[in-house]
Structure 1
Amino acid sequence: MPQSLITRRAFGTVSAVSVAAVCAPALVRAQTDGAMLGRVTVAVGGQGVLYHLPLALADALGYFRVEGLEVVVRDFAAGALAQQAVQEGAADVCSGAFEHVLRAHVRGQSYRALVLQGRAPQLALGVSLRSLPAYKDLGDLAGRRIGVSSVGSSTHLAASLMLVRAGLSPRDVAFVGVGSGTNAMNALRSGQVHALCHADPIMTLLEQKADTRIVGDLRSLKAAQELVGSGTLPAGSLYAPQSFLQKQPAQAQALVNGIVHALKWLQTAGPADLVKAVPAAYLMGDRGLYLAAFGRVRETFSPNGLMPDDGPATALRILARVQPELAEAKVELARTYTNDLVRKARQKYSV
């Protein structure tokens, strides 16, 4: 597939605010002496993927530090492993899929989403043309190996949903945890797995190398709407144990302020701004490819960080499609998220 041409118009008009924001780290260092609120550790599954871009921008642009907070990001191969790190006390907060919050409540663990980063799964399913040259439809994946970041992660759920929609059962395939980044790509190219469900820019890179065919795509709002039928599907979020909210409310507010600030920056950022702001390693050696991938998912980032009123119920309903036992689960949805911190952040940054 030819690489998409990304123009400045496609990314929106670059405002003076967005240009100045690229220089924020230097300004912050000049204005802030140390992190007054101390250190918070955030666990992430696949730090370099676009799914976590708001977190990456808030960190790179110095938005956390201007709030008086030092944020340390710990990267894990998958979202399920990142949540495990929080559960075990190795991290304070997790950046990951909202469905992890719901699953935790079913297990009797009290987690709460603090701010929404994405409103669509931002994931795609690709088939290796080397391993399955005669591929016709999803039915051809029966008995095959599908790579996901890890079993139990959002990539696993997304692939399962696509299979169910095609009339298959998740039990008809073998899911293999392949991590993220080059490990995930190599697993597909080497034949370790026949298909891969993952995030961008990984899937765009595989697709543009012409050895992978995208057969399931959840990287747009339209695709997400087709998946859920009705309602809004929350995806990437920053979530934490209820105990963190109770013991460190100032730190929680500072985290949300940083993410909301980054989401506002994304509304007007141009391509030059983006490639300057994100760490070079995230570009995977190809700025054009990264920008093409970003163009595909840009609309799916939350414009303001608010959890939609129908979001938690929609997410639980979708989760029950692949885990029917959850349909009868008693989850107090109002306790799975809070919009209070986001409302305060929106007032501060006029979002």
Structure 2
Amino acid sequence: MKVQALLLAASLVLQGLGALPGLDVAEAAEVEKPNVTIGVGGKPLLYYLPLTLAERLGSFKDEGLNVAINDFGGGAKSLQALIGGSVDGVTGAYEHTIRMQQKKQDIRAVIDLGRYPGIVLAVRKSEADKLKTVANLKGAKIGVTAPGSSTHILVQYAFAKAGLKSDDASFIGVGSGPSAVAAMQRGEIDAIAHLDPVISKLQDLGLIDVLIDTRTTEGTEQLFGGMNPAAVVYFKESFIKANPKTVQAFTNAFYRTLKWLETATPEEVAATVPEEYWLGDKDLYIKAFIASRESYSTDGAIDEASMKSALNLIATTDPSFNASSIDFSKTFDDSFLVKARDR
């Protein structure tokens, strides 16, 4: 173990990270489960940018973790993978921790990555004269990353506020990257609920008009009446209890990544992610990041008001959901975040 610690220390020094305050190299090397698999539903999306940055900046390796990332078609599928046991943790929507609690599945977030959903609901520009409001979307074909994912649920929430039923439109899974752009280009959908860089690409192509924009504080407050947490890192409670050092290492890695992101330039961000994430246009990716920048968490925390907002979204879209049964303390364990900050 001492050899591992020395090798990790040398790696950190070479990367200019050896002097980071509070970084205990020996502790980082002694995680219970150094080889970990994380699920995600659409890794190239800016919604999950902190995951890609943690990977590309070496934040996981700095904490003694060898992380394999499984990219699924949507957040609902990555959640299913966690329940099924094929991944150890998930970078996904906070609302999943609430839904699973009612299903007697103890899933807990340990750090928040996104303060706002970052999801945009937009209509095909050629149909914009007819589809001026959410209520006009009755009977429309709406593209989402995957049925049951956060993009789908946000539209259902908007429908409820507009007096529509959740099945008043057809929802079509269009994936998370070029396939989503192609679906709009080919005329397969009338509207789309999606994230950047897909939304910025469609705007640049002149294909859409925006109805709802939760990339910003203003747009999020207009829809939810306040904040609404988005992507978090969550694990089964059983995994957290069995692997506390591993979970701490994950939290440390993501917290450091959020602090890097807080001051990074758009150009630095674009240079860090894989080129294929640019959708063929680096300048467009930079614009997309700037449009979404407000959505990222700077401290990793979720306050009670935001938790209540997430619960209200679920209760609104699912009348059978028993909101009174939810214990927020079991949806978000901030003990690892506190230690990450103290470092």
The two structures have a TM-score, normalised by structure 1, of 0.86
Give the corresponding residue for 1:58: 54
Kept after mapping to 1: 8 A contact 2:178/2:279? no
Separation of aligned partners in 1, 2:198 and 2:314: 24
Question: Do structure 1's residue 121 and structure 2's residue 109 form an aligned pair?
Answer: no
Deviations 1:53-78 (A, max 9, x none): 11111111001111111111110110
The alpha-carbon deviation at position 250 of structure 1 amounts to: 0.8
Contact 1:63–1:258 (CA<8 Å) still a contact in 2?
yes
Residue number in structure 2 paired with 1:339: 334
After superposition, residues 147-158 of structure 1 pair within 5 angstroms as: 147-158=143-154
- Amino acid corresponding to residue 215 of structure 2 in structure 1: R
**Number of the residue aligned with 1:104:** 100
- Name the structure 2 match of 1:199: 195
How far 1:192 sits from its partner (Å)? 2.1
Which residue, 15, 18, 25 being the options, matches 1:27?
15
Counterpart-to-counterpart distance in 1, 2:120 and 2:12: 33
1:308 aligns with 2:303: yes
Contact 1:45 1:96 in 2 (8 A): yes
Q: Quick check: 1:114–1:256 contact (8 Å CA) kept in 2? A: yes
Q: 1:295 aligns with which of 290, 300, 319?
A: 290
Deviation at 1:45, TM superposition (A): 0.4
Match of 2:312 among 309, 317, 328: 317
Matched residue of 1:325: which SS? coil
Q: Does residue 46 of structure 1 match 2:46?
A: no
Give the deviation of 1:284 after TM superposition.
1.6
Q: Distance in 2 between matches of 1:223 and 1:137?
A: 15
Secondary structure (helix, strand or coil) at the match of 1:291 reads helix
CA contact (8 A) 1:25 1:60 kept: no
SS in 2 for 1:307: coil
Q: Tell whether the 8 Å contact from 1:28 to 1:66 is kept in structure 2 after alignment.
A: no
Partner of 1:272: 267
Alignment RMSD (CA, Å): 2.4
**CA deviation string 1:193-230 (max 9, x = no partner):** 21110111101100110011112211112222222224
Q: In structure 2, how many angstroms separate the alpha carbons of the residues matched to 1:64 and 1:28?
A: 15
Q: Which runs of 5+ in 2 are unaligned?
A: 1-10, 20-24
Q: Read off the aligned partner of 2:336 and give its amino acid letter.
A: L
Query: Percent identity of the aligned residues?
Result: 34
Q: Secondary structure at the match of 1:285?
A: coil
Aligned to 2:22: none
Structure 1: gaps (5+ residues): 1-22
CA contact (8 A) 1:99 1:315 kept: yes
CA gap 1:66/1:39 in 2 versus in 1, 3 angstroms: same
Measured in 1, the distance between the counterparts of 2:334 and 2:43 equals: 25
What amino acid maps onto 2:259 in structure 1? K
Is 1:259 aligned with 2:247?
no
Residue in 2 aligned with 1:170?
Answer: 166
Give, in whole Å, the separation in 2 of the partners of 1:139 and 1:310: 28
- In the superposition, relative to structure 1, how do residues 255 and 178 fare at CA in structure 2: closer, same or farther (>3 Å)? same
* 1:140 shift after superposition: 2.6
Distance 1:110 1:25, change over 3 A: farther
How much does 1:166 deviate? 2.5
